[in-house]
Amino acid sequence: MATEGPAMRRVQVAEHPRLLKLKEMFNSKFGSIPKFYVRAPGRVNIIGEHIDYCGYSVLPMAVEQDMLIAVEPVKTQTLQLANTNPLYPDFSTSANNIQIDKTKPLWHNYFLCGFKGIQEHFGLSNLTGMNCLVDGNIPPSSGLSSSSALVCCAGLVTLTVLGMNLSKVELAEICAKSERYIGTEGGGMDQSISFLAEEGTAKLIEFSPLRATDVKLPSGAVFVIANSCVEMNKAATSHFNIRVMECRLAAKLLAKYRGLQWDKVLRLEEVQAKLGVSLEEMLGITEDALHPEPYSPEEVCKCLGISLQELQTQILSPKTQDVLVFKPYQRAKHVYSEAARVLRFKKICEEAPDNTVQLLGELMNQSHASCRDLCECSCPELDQLVDICRKSGAQGSRLTGAGWGGCTVSLVPADKLTNFLANVHEAYYQRSDRNVTLEKQSLFATKPGGGALVFLEAQIM
């Protein structure tokens, strides 16, 4: 239940090779044994891209890949962080003086986001320190939410060390808010599915208030994730935050056009709710109110009746103040059409007609086209990979995650899976000029995994 906190399980560490290895590495690093372990999964968003921050529902599932942290509370007030991956250097800081540098999205800053979120939620000072060893097997910057999984894991670690309780929903909301410390203006999908996921089912995640509904996926097909091997870090680039801001501007322009109190409006969903119209009607209003040609900051100011300084200081975020071109028409068209596709996807899963897989595949294909042409968050490699997946037998294929790199998700009939994997591997990954390492876990079928939880080592009698 979402009203309960994450599960706590007693396990025989010796029976879990990854936990055992982490315990041994922790002992060799810190000279002691972890008190407990926390895991938080990554996710694949099946449909509903770039709409959570606009207030609309999304349809992700957790993947089996996760962040795993071994933890030992200590008497000092020092937070010591280490990573099993030698690419990520050790870090230590005072638990009571957390500084998060937005200019450098270093790995430890994501841990600090989760830590600080819990600390500030409870208004705590004088926190105890801890030794933590992090082990992640989610490919980084791949659109499978490795960063948010680390924020969630750190939030649950901190909560457990403090001996406090929060529901999964409260944890998800705190972690979504706290990831903004690193400068990413995300919408909350990634943190929500990391805590609210359940094995065997995808989830429709709705916002304001946050809630999750089971979505039973078709049994005759599997979802396959393929990594384009183009890395994209949301916090290191401005693409993502620019899309958030363009959607905010679109919401304000649409609200002004329809005589609403536009200065209070932040999200496209609010405009629809205030007007009390359908998503299809919002697409019509967008056609009437906005033009396809890009808007300059000066034109936005003219439409809203504000000064350039007011636009920069009151509406734009620090990372978007220098943007010279906005495309509110294209972004609004993407958001309203994508929000409708999510609801249609869920309805088809519920009704389960004979051609379910075909219908869902068509929605995924439409979603990719909208991401590519209206949201403009694809890239040539993703487009090529989507094309290869479709030609290799996928009923539908689309980019997943923020885009500009990362992964695709494809819906593949179960009886075509073996051929599909072989064909995609040959057509995309065996090209001599593509730099692919095994660590990127390039191509794998996945099924809905469970959410974040705490492991305690069972005492052997």
Kindly state the DSSP code that residue 429 receives in the 8-state scheme: I
Burial profile 348-359: b = 16 or more Cβ within 10 angstroms, e = fewer: bbeeeeeebbeb
292 touches 330 (CB < 8 A): yes
Nearest to 78 by CA among 99, 50, 62, 97: 97
In sequence order, the β-bridge partners of residue 222 are 412
Angstrom distance (rounded) from CA 336 to CA 315: 22
In angstroms, the CA 160 to CA 152 distance is 12
What DSSP element (H or E) covers 413? Answer: strand 407-413
Which of these is catalytic: 66, 190, 354, 433?
Answer: 190
Residues 239, 377 contacting (CB under 8 angstroms) = yes
What is the rounded distance in angstroms from the CA atom of residue 339 to the CA atom of residue 51?
7
DSSP 8-class letter at 346:
H
CA dist., res. 164 & res. 160, Å (int): 6
> How far is Cα 69 from Cα 39, in angstroms, rounded to an integer?
6
Contact 8, 172 (CB under 8 A): no
Packed helices 380-391 and 417-424: angle between N→C axes, nearest 10 degrees: 140
Contacts of 103 (CB under 8 A, 6+ apart): none
Q: Give catalytic status of residue 383 as yes or no.
A: no
Task: Write the CB contacts of 418 (distance below 8 Å, at least 6 apart in sequence).
Answer: none
The alpha carbon dihedral of 154, 158, 161, 164 has a sign of negative
Strand-strand pairing, 453-457 and 7-11: parallel
The DSSP annotation for 109-152 comes to HHHHHHHHHHHHHTT--S--EEEEEEEE-SPTTSSS-HHHHHHH
What H or E segment, with its residue span, contains residue 63?
Answer: strand 59-74
Decide: 255 and 431 in contact? Cβ < 8 Å: no
Catalytic residue annotation: 190
